[in-house]
Chain A
């Protein structure tokens, strides 16, 4: 995995434009202007990110758009950035979701507009930074930095139980990642004082060391995903966060956990991965089933979607730890799908909440009779969420299940139940919202801004659902290379066993 240095500093621009925008927001007067500035900055960043997409070379697993600068020489910490087929989709997802978050909170946020958008922009910077950082310390800094704006988003603009939710979110995530810091330092010592992430891959660490490092990483990422049984912060945070906060949480933040598995656990500690994968698969299945059953029992729509996230992310983890090309690619595309679909659903619930100040299903029954535009979008996203053919999630879940059947038929068989549950809770939600009861004529239907906000999600639902090739193409090489790294460890283990016998 080489770092191909490029001169344009495109990644740095993507990371720091939001920060510059945040600085600009500090001095812009007037709430309307502040909204516009935030929108312009995020849209500009999104457009700029297409330059990344267009110039990305999908035929190589090397890190592209690389940048490297000495930062803290005494510790050999560098400012290193790079993208490969695994991270590019997530960076694109981030840059594209952010303008929609700004649009989605246009009227939703009524107080402290300036601070809200500053938080949002700092958030964007940290998220892109996490996906682009190739130096461990840089990665960790972005990873932790994210907690501050996210905490404020929930704590200031959140719902009634914001105190509880925000502190729980912060404590869980921070407690999970402190051991990761120790693991990072341990890896640094083992690798000749290098914090460069690819340097740490494919090294002959002892089994014990690998297991310990794997577990330290796993705890941090499992909390972020979140996997059963450390998921309990998620429903609280999702329900209390403002709509844009929920969208960021669902679309991007949760992906950092699974991204961490792909970027660190698999290539750095392959032996431990192989050893522990069977257990993690069952944990993932437990998450799928648990999320499904709990979602079935919710009457709060936001909570329902939050628990469905636990189930969907369980599928993603499942796809990663079956450790074959189909499963991994399914996971990656499903990460994007979940970002699109769940992000859209959270935005829509935010739109209802803005009108009725309720998230209860029973307060919004029978909307099919009164709100045709809303219901059309809602149905499409709900169908996408349950993995209906021709929508994006179908592709992802299909690939993950195909990969799972190739690896472990029992696990795959049990996880099918999760897919059925997804259909059950989503259809139950739809049935309530669409047809049960009279409908409410006191609430207005979606306005033009909201339709514009939802349209990109709509486009991606069908684009990925019907023609996933452009999205799949970028990842083939990198995923194959990742699997090679894991297989190399397996082969090494086999040789070692032969020698012993």
Chain B
């Protein structure tokens, strides 16, 4: 019972939200409740961080790995709800339902990181995905200009195709080993990893999470969904589910036997390199900030793979560190986007003109967020990139490291061009942007985390390593 407390609480929370959503115009209440749910969830996860045990016939495992990820997912939910403000751009009538789906999606992610059996993993993943599919088209008509419909369809289609591929991979895994439990799969797969079918099974299995993480060539949904969904929805899609995706990707990677994994590593290297190059080169020409961040997200996902493909504990821990840092800097940027957007419409680069005069604080948040994404010290983005590159070079992947550093140089251009319009251009007749107390608090917390994790990465890395030891 105690082991399952966070999930039960989320379930209860979503039930309450469901009843709230039955009333008219309860968006404000639903939002406050979601913040509360997120905050309490953080506390519950933090209290249960050292718990250990299994549930449901060993299909559900509670250990430091799952609890660590649950905690950061809970923190992510809280920050997203706070950072996106009153969720402008969502149809007011269904705002309460919107928050309901957000919480259910989080419930799916929380269950996903604990699942150690293929079917429960699949169910948890779909629970989270289907809520997201619904959140995308919930944008209102004026700000979405009907793009949200196209985005919703694209998101669901690509999602189902990659889920199909993943199921296909799972069926191979079951066919090869006769089990759906990770505890049986790991030794069995390690033993037969020289077998091409085993490689194929794992590659297909990974596809489902490549899609979530937006890795080339499963990224096609990204630009349109980022652009078509409401600003707040994009902030959520771009952050919290990615944490879950990385967690499971790492779990899948443990199936690989490092001694015979040359082909798998090559495959991961190719998709990582393609993601970085494709993401950064496409981002160069974007003017819609969300679309640009979408492409930049593809590039960052490529960087995350640098840690995965080392197939060791340290590399996994660094990937985890990187994705957490990415979520923080991403949210810093989305905080600014949500505030600058007056009615929830999309934000173009030009809308940020002279931001440092219109709202010095938001301009600073944007500066920190963008420079952190670009990998400039002392921010978390630099330390993450540095450690991933060091790990990759240590594993003798020099070409990939060269591609990585060249990409850093390419990426700086578009991040910098955003900073440039915010700082070097005159605001013209654009209105000042109000910043309320919540924005200040969230902005300060995000900046403090980005800087602190950048100069003192040790503790988080230790936690991540400790979590990784649970699955290795």
Interface set of A (CB-CB < 8 Å, partner B): 71-75, 115, 137, 140-142, 144-145, 147-148, 151-152, 155-156, 158, 162-163, 166-167, 170-171, 174-175, 178-179, 181-182, 185-186, 188-189
Contacts and interface: CB of A to CB of B under 8 A. Distances in A.
Interface string B314-337: 100000000000000000000000
A188 B367 CA distance: 31
Contact of B423 (A71, A152, A174): A152
A166 B420 contact: yes
A186 B390 CA distance: 8
Contacts of A174: 376, 408-409, 412
A156 B376 contact: no
B319 to A, nearest CB: 14
Nearest to A143: B377
A455 B412 CA distance: 41
Contacts of B386: 137, 181, 185
B458 A167 contact: no
Interface stretch (B90-98, B252-260, B288-296, B398-406): B398-406
A186 B458 CA distance: 22
- Interface of chain B: mostly helix, strand, loop or mixed: helix
Contacts of A188: 390
Nearest to A70: B458
Interface residues of B, number: 35
Contacts of A156: 356, 423-424
B371 interface: yes
B405 A181 contact: yes
Contact of A72 (B394, B417, B457): B457
- Interface of chain A: mostly helix, strand, loop or mixed: helix
Contacts of A163: 420, 424-425
Contacts, number: 84
Contacts of B425: 163
B187 interface: no
Nearest to A155: B424
A145 B377 contact: yes
Interface in B370-410: 371, 376-378, 382, 386-387, 389-390, 393-394, 401-402, 405-406, 408-409
B237 interface: no
Contact of B401 (A71, A155, A182): A182
Contacts of A175: 409, 412
Interface string B400-439: 0110011011001100110110011100000000000000
Looking at A158, A167, A178, the one whose CB has the most chain B CB atoms below 10 A away is A178
Given A73-B458, A189-B393, A178 B405 contact: yes
Nearest to A175: B409
Contacts of B136: none
A171 B412 contact: yes
B48 to A, nearest CB: 27
Given A171-B412, A174-B409, A185-B389, 10 more contacts: A72-B457, A145-B376, A145-B378, A148-B371, A148-B376, A152-B423, A166-B424, A171-B409, A182-B402, A185-B386
Given A152-B423, A189-B393, A147 B376 contact: yes
A178 B376 contact: no
9 contacts: A141-B382, A144-B377, A148-B367, A151-B416, A170-B412, A179-B405, A181-B386, A181-B389, A189-B393
